[in-house]
Structure 1
C-alpha cells in the first residue's frame, strides 16, 4: 500500500520503520525542517552536542524504545547515568532519588508518615492494576492511603505545578501510578543529543526507501471516493491508500474537517495544557552542589516549575565549557509567558536563579532560547480510559495517534514507540 504519515516525531518515524518492513511504500510529511517533534533539538556552532528544545531523557524501564534501538543498531550510542534530583523544602534543597534520601527528607515528617510513604510507594511499584485506580483522583487516593501530610508535602506541589489549580485536583490516580511505576533514577540519553538520534533514524529510514519530506506542512486530508485519501500540501496533492496523522487532537480536526459526529466530539472533549521552556547558557555552573533536577513548588515563589541543569547530566565539555540550564513550566494557553519575548521571560526568571544560588549574577548569562507548545500534557480525568479515541477514525484508511493515546503513561518517547507498534499492527 501507499501510506502517508504526517509528523516526523518518534511515533511517526517508528510507524514508518515498522510499515516499510512489511513492504509498504511510505512517505512522511513534516512541517518542520528537522525530525523529532517535541524531542527535537538545536546546536550552536561551538557546541559538540545538541540540546533538546524541551528537556528529554529515557529511563531504564523504556523497554520498547531500547528494543527499537537494538533493531536500528543504535543501542551502543545510548548512555545511562544517575544524576541527582532534589526537592525544595523550607528554603533548602534535599536530594530525593533513593530510599535513604527519602528517609532523610524532612518534608515527609517523621515516624508514621515515612512508613506510609514507603509502603504506598512499594505497592504502586508492584501493582499493575491501574484501571482500578482511575476511578479516584490522585488527591483523594493519596490522602486516604499515604496520608494528608505526605500528599500535601510530596505530591500536591507537583500536581499543581503540572496541571495548575484548575485541573490538579481532578487528575486521576492512574496517571500518578504510571509515573511511580515506570520511572527509574537512572536516566538515559543519546551520544550527541536526541537530535543526533533522530538524524540517524531518518538516515536508516531513507536507506530502506522511506520518502521523508521536510518543510511540508499539510493543508488538508480528505476522502477521494471510497478508494483512497488525498493529502494536500502547498506544493502538491498526493493520493494514498492509508494516512496516519500524529499531531495534536486540535490539529487533526483542523486537517480533516470531514470528521464529524461522536468522533469529533470525543476529540474536542480532550483537555491538555501547554508548556514554556527557556534554555539558558551560562559562563559557570548554577548549582553549587552538582544537582541536576530541581522540583520547585509554586507556593515557594519560583517563577517556573522545574529547573534542570543539563550539564550536570551531560558534561559542559560537550558545549564548549558552557553551562546549560532549562527553566520550564506547564501553563494554560492564555498565560502571558507564551507571548513574552525570550529576553523578557529571562528577566522574569532571574530571581528564581538567584533563589537557587544567591551568588548568581546576570553577567553569567551568555545566551537564551525560548520554546513553547500549546500541546504538552494531556489532562486525565476520572475513568479517562473511556475518553481515549480509537486510532481508527470513521474515515476508511485514516488513522490518528497522539500523545493523548498513551494514557495512563506520561509523555515519553518510549510510549510513542509502543503506540507506533500498535498502529502498525492494525493497518
Structure 2
C-alpha cells in the first residue's frame, strides 16, 4: 500500500502531528508524514524556514547562509530534490582541493599532486594514502567508537604524518575537543568523500541547485502546502506537556494547541528547556550531548582567490578552519559576477571566538587572507557578514552511540529526533534526509502501528519499502 493511499476518513488512521523545528530535518519529516496521510503542523522559531540551510543577503547578493554542496553519491538528498522537481536543474562541476601548509598553498586534487606534496616524505604519503584507503573500505564503525581519533590516526599514518597533517586538521575542526572524540569522526569523513569518487567519474564532482537553498526551500514550502502541512514561523516553543489522555499540548506565545504526536528536532541541549516531563535519566542523556558551533563569515570579493573549492589549513594561527570558495562551484553570474567565499570557524561552547564582535572577526579573517594570498587586497572586499550558530554538530565522543537518548521519549507520544542521532556519518543534508527516513520507518510509523493493533478494522500502514522506494534508487546526473 503506497503512502499516498492512506486516507484520513478513518479517525484512527490519521493523527495530528506537530514538528518542532523548520530546518531540513523537520521539513523532511513533515514531508514524509504528510505522504503517509498524516496531518502535520510545523513550528519554526525563526521568521523563515531553513535553519542552517537558510539563505540571506550579503551586500548585493542572496545566497546560502552556510556552505552546502551535493555529491553524486548523495542519493537520499538527490531523490528528495527529484520529488521537489529540482534535481533535473542541478549543475555538476568538477572541483579542486587545496592545502595551505608551512605558509604556502598547494594543490591536492590528483595523485601526481599528492605525490609531489613537499611537506611529507614518500613513506609518509604511502601511509597516509593507506590510511584513507583502509578507512574507506572499513564497515565496522562501532569498533572505532572505542578508539580515540588521535591514537587511530597515529597508528595507521605514523607520528610524523599525524603531527604535520592530521593534528592541525583535527584542531581546526574540533579544537581541543579532538582529544575526547573517537575514530568514527575521521572514518565517516573519509567514507563520504571516497564514496563520492567511487560514483563513477573518479573526480570531485559537486553539485548545486541554481538559486541555492532559497529556491529549494521555496519549493519545499510549496510542496508541503500542497499536502496540507501548516507552517507556523516566528513561533518559538515555550512548553510541551502530555495529558492523561495522551494528547500533547504545544504552547507558544500564540497559545496552546493539542496534538496526537509531537516530534522535536531541536538540539538535545535545548529541548530539555521546554519538556518538564522528561525523566531525570533522559534529561541527563540529552544534556550530556556536547555540541560544536560555527562562526561562518560570508565574504563577497571583486575577484577570485584561487581555483580550489576547499582549501584545508594546517598552519597554526589562522583564525578560520578552511577557505570555501563557492564560486569555483556556483556560476559567478548568479552572484552578480562576484566571488563568494566562506570562512568557517568551528568552536566549542567555551571558545573565546564567541566573544568576538563582527568587526573583530572581519579584521582577523581578512588579515589572514592577506597573509595567505599574495594577490589579495583588502580593497577586494565588497561585503562581509558573520553567522553564529552554537549548536551545529554533536561531538562523536568515545562510545557515542551507546549514550544517545532514544528517539521515543518517556513522555507519551513525544519524540526527539535531531542531528545528534547521526552516529555513522558526518553532518550534511544527505545524512539529515536519511535520518528523517530512518526515524519515520523505525520509530514514528511503528508507534502508529502499535496504536492500531487494538482495532481489527484499521487500514494497513504503508510499509517502509513503499515509503522509501523513491529515495533508495540511484538518480542519474
Same fold? TM cut 0.5: yes
User: What's the secondary structure of 2:119's corresponding residue?
Assistant: helix
What is the distance in 2 between the residues matched to 1:182 and 1:10? 19
Tell me if 1:352 matches 2:368: yes
Q: 2:333 is matched with which residue?
A: 317
Residue of structure 1 in register with 2:399 after alignment: 383
Q: CA deviation at 1:97?
A: 3.2
1:219 corresponding residue in structure 2? 238
**CA contact under 8 A between 2:269 and 2:289: conserved in structure 1?**
no
2:58, 2:300 within 8 Å by CA — same for their partners in 1?
A: no
What is residue 189 of structure 1 aligned with on the other side? Answer: 208
2:474 aligned partner: none
> CA-to-partner distance for each residue in 1:135-185, whole Å, 9 max, x for gaps?
2111111111221122222211111111112x1122111121011011233
Q: Does 1:279 align with 2:290?
A: no
Q: Which runs of 5+ in 2 are unaligned?
A: 1-14, 197-203, 445-477
TM-score normalised by L of structure 2: 0.84
> Which entry has the higher C-alpha Rg, 1 or 2?
2
Aligned to 1:124: 135
User: Which of these residues, 173, 189, 192, is aligned with residue 179 of structure 1?
Assistant: 189
Q: Secondary structure at the match of 1:203?
A: helix
Q: Are 2:146 and 1:135 aligned?
A: yes
1:87-166 correspondence runs (5 A): 87-110=99-122, 112-165=123-176
Q: After TM superposition, which residue ranges in structure 1, 4 or more long, deviate above 4 angstroms?
A: none
Q: State the partner residue of 1:10.
A: 24
Cα contact 1:277–1:327 (8 A) shared by 2: yes
Instruction: Note if contact 1:273-1:378 (Cα within 8 Å) is conserved in structure 2.
Output: yes
Matches within 5 A, 1:14-413: 14-43=28-57, 46-47=60-61, 50-110=62-122, 112-165=123-176, 167-183=177-193, 184=196, 185-285=204-304, 287=305, 289-299=306-316, 301-413=317-429
Deviation at 1:46, TM superposition (A): 4.6
Paired with 1:78 and 1:364, the residues of 2 have a C-alpha distance of 30
Instruction: Provide the secondary structure at the position in 2 that maps to 1:265.
Output: helix
SS in 1 for 2:145: helix
Q: Post-superposition shift, 1:297?
A: 2.5
Q: Deviations over 1:193-215 (max 9, x none)?
A: 11211111111111111111111
Q: Secondary structure of the residue that 1:177 maps to in structure 2? A: helix
Native 8 Å contact 1:139 1:169 kept in 2: yes
Deviation string for 1:239-269 (max 9, x for gaps)?
A: 0000001011122101212212211111111
TM-score (norm 1): 0.94
Hey, what's the Cα distance between the residues in 1 that align with 2:292 and 2:43?
25
CA distance, structure 2, for counterparts of residue 220 and residue 229 of structure 1: 10
Aligned partners of 1:278 and 1:342 also within 8 Å: no
313-322 or 385-394: bigger deviation: 313-322
Deviation at 1:45, TM superposition (A): 8.2
The number of equivalent residue pairs is: 420
Distance change in 2, residues 1:178/1:71 (3 Å) = same
What are the ranges of 5 or more consecutive residues in structure 1 without an aligned counterpart?
none
Tell me how far apart the structure 2 counterparts of residues 12 and 98 of structure 1 sit (CA, whole Å).
Answer: 38
Alpha carbons of 1:335 and 1:143: their partners in 2 closer, same or farther (altered >3 Å)? Answer: closer
Partners in 1 of 2:223 and 2:411 — Cα distance?
A: 31
1:238, distance to aligned residue in structure 2 (A): 0.5
**3-state DSSP class of the match of 1:330?**
strand
- 1:222, CA displacement in angstroms? 0.9
CA RMSD in angstroms comes to 1.7
Q: 1:421 aligns with which of 429, 437, 459?
A: 437
Conserved? CA contact 2:98–2:312, under 8 Å? yes
For the Cα contact (< 8 Å) 1:343–1:368, is it kept in 2?
A: no
Q: 1:139 to 1:21 in 2, by over 3 A?
A: same
